[in-house]
Amino acid sequence: MEEVTIKIEGMSCAHCQANVKKAITSVNSVSSAEVNLEEGKATVQYDPTKTELDKIKSAVEDMGYEAKV
């Protein structure tokens, strides 16, 4: 497993936070995601042999938020 912190831009409420977490955890091989609304970041644990970081970022961006590593 690998842990990465992703900066998330565009979150403004708890609903946004929940949407981002749902998007991240829907990606195959993500084992956990903690999304911090106040800091605008997500800490994600995933298996890099089964998925790429870009897929996680794309899942967030598909929900209308910006994701940067």
Residue ranges covered by each domain of the chain: 2-68
pTM of the predicted model as reported, rounded to 2 decimal places:
0.93
CATH 3.40.50.1980, domain 2-68, yes or no: no
Give CA 48 to chain center in angstroms.
Answer: 14
The confidence score (pLDDT) of residue 64 equals 96
Closest CA to 59 of 12, 13, 25, 17: 25
4-61 confidence digits (pLDDT tens):
999 999 999 999 999 999 999 999 999 999 999 999 999 999 999 999 999 999 999 9
